[in-house]
Structures are given as C-alpha cells and as structure tokens.
Structure 1
C-alpha cells in the first residue's frame, strides 16, 4: 500500500510490478521512470527493472489490514491483464477485492482484449471499478472490450491524451478521466480536445474528471478547465474520499 498524489484515488496497491509498452500512450510511461528510481534506491520489489513482470503474493493480504474504507488504484506500476500475469493470479487478486467490499478497487488496463477474453472467469463484486486507457482514436476498440465486462462501474482514462476523440461512444460508461502528459518530453494536449470530451460527457450524463494539463511543470499548469475544477465521480458517496 502507498499513499498517492493521483487526484482520483486514495491509495495504490501493486500485487504486480513491471510491464511492456504496447501503444503510443506508453511512450513516456511514468511507472517506468518510477521503477528506475526505486530500483536505484534498492527497493527489492523493483530489483528486476520495469520490463520484468513480477507477481507479489505477499501483497495479497494487505487490503484485509485496512481498518477504514479506502479507494484504491490497483497496479499503478503494472497492468493486471498483461499476458505474463497468469489467469490464476488475476483470479486471486479479484478474490481479495471480492472479500473486501468495504473498499473500492479501481483497475485500469491497456490490454482490454485480454480483459474481454477472461472476464467471465472473474467475479465482479460491486466494489470493482474497471477502466481502460484510451490515448487517441487508434485504440478506441478498448472501450468496446470494456463494455463486455460485468463491472458495475466502467471508466475511461484518457491520459495521456495525445489526440482528439470527437466521437466517443459512452454507452455503458460511468466515468471519464482526462489528463495531459507530464514530464520534460511531454506531448502537448490541445485544449479543444478536452473541451470537446467534457461536452460529450455532459451530453451523455457521464461523470467527468479533469486531472491535469500536464507539461513540463504540471503544478504550474494546474487542472482548471473553463475556470473551474472538474472532480465528478460516478458514485456521489465517494466524493468524501477524493
């Protein structure tokens, strides 16, 4: 478990670490940068570097120890649906989430095709929110894969947004997060792209969360849009957590 500065969650929980890049959104992966830093610090969990996918059975008991209800981003440092993660281990992660209904678990993947392949082998308790990353129009099919799952809450992470998404099909989608890329080599995000997505969400009555403009100095750029912050959540009761 780790506290996090990610605006739309409270904690991160990483039963898997390491990943490989599969699309344009991965180019400047923050988890890769963070893994290098943690490895250089001698953190055992990251000793094999970013490209080695590792499962960590010793982390599975952590959610049982939290006394108060938490909102948890699962696998911020990996992708639970990576091909190198056995189905049996994914099922064990889901079992932990199933057995801790007092917490909300937010799972995010770029490997929506594998998600669709095995979703019927998983138990979708009400507290599991399932999302897919969509950085540009080339990966819109991930949304269709997401729709096939039994998740009560389905969400999109449009971050880093590196292209326009003018024709989003938001049927069955409960929440949309938008954010620009950050870092020294960050690719720019056109404000018109963000405004268009916000309007699409409003028209479809989908909760909209604007995370950041990003850039070289994301704190200075801030996260205001239209002169305000957008912190909408798919479940109003969760406003007290975020």
Structure 2
C-alpha cells in the first residue's frame, strides 16, 4: 500500500451505536470538536440513541432493524465521502479531540494505513480487557475506501476479525496507539449483570468463531 500522505480534507468520525442514549451524545460532542462531520448509525436502537446523537450534531443513519456492528458501520461509511475515517465506539468516556488526532495523524501523514487505539489509564476493567484483546478495539483510523473493501464487512455482527484478516491480506501498515484515560462503560453496567454477561458471551462467541464460519462458507 502507498506510503504517500492523503489529502488535507478533514477526517469523518463514524460511530455504530445500539441503545447507547446515555453516552453517545457526549462522544458526538467531543468528535465535533475534532471534525465537522460525525456520522452515527443507530443500529435498530429502541431507545433515544438516534435523537440524542442528532441533537448533539451528528448525521444519523437510523437503521430500522438491528443488523450488527458490521452492518451499522457499513451504513455509516456510505453516508460520508471523507477519505479518512475515525471509528469510535458509542460508549466511551474520557475522550478528547487529542485522542482523535492521535488516531488519525499517522494515517493522514501516510505513515500508517490503520491505527488502532488501546486504552491506558482509563480504568482497570476496560484497560485489562482492551490490552488482552487489542486487535478487537473499536477505536481506529484508516482510509474509508480500504475499509469498505473488507470482505463481508456488512455481514459481520462484530467486524474486527474481518478487518484484522484484511490487514494481513493487503499487507497494510498498522500499529497500536495509546489512548490515555479513555474507557468504556462495560456491558454489565449498561444492561445489568446478567444481561451484560449474556451480551458479552454472545459477542465473544461471534468473534471467536469467525475463522470457523469463514471455512464453512468456503473462505480461507
């Protein structure tokens, strides 16, 4: 892939969100201090995610049904023409514009094809989980066209393994970058202990069976 810097046009921030009315507005507000273009794909949310994101200044793609993070991300990517996109989860805390510059600057300068954010100092639970599986981080920056070329992006409920595979297949240059004092609201806090644990288990089952599902469907 090219080592040339990309155009000076501002990156867009894209956020896939499912029932994140309590946190998405603040993430959007911070993102708006970094760039004027923030796109939120509300993934069949049944709460006020779409409304509060729109009121915070985001362009909202309001999906009628829950299609999974990959499908929501794909929909958000189609709603922008920015050359570089910054991907954020909707449940972040401690986020600042400086964190977004940390993610995007290496891509804009042509030093990396993708940067992947890793939490540092945001809290024991999210730090530990993020560092244990940094390749599953939702905080990234890359070229929009590259991301749209990830095979089956829209079909993956959790697209991070597909993105990782595409990084390897395309020989992309990537690196982890630290995001100091950023954390996520854990699922157990958002949905209650048992609801959160069930959602977390379903997520990891989907993530860990990615290769097996690809082989079953005839992929490498």
Bigger Rg over Cα: 1
More helix by share: 2
Shared fold, TM over 0.5: no
**TM-score of the superposed pair, with normalisation by structure 2:** 0.27
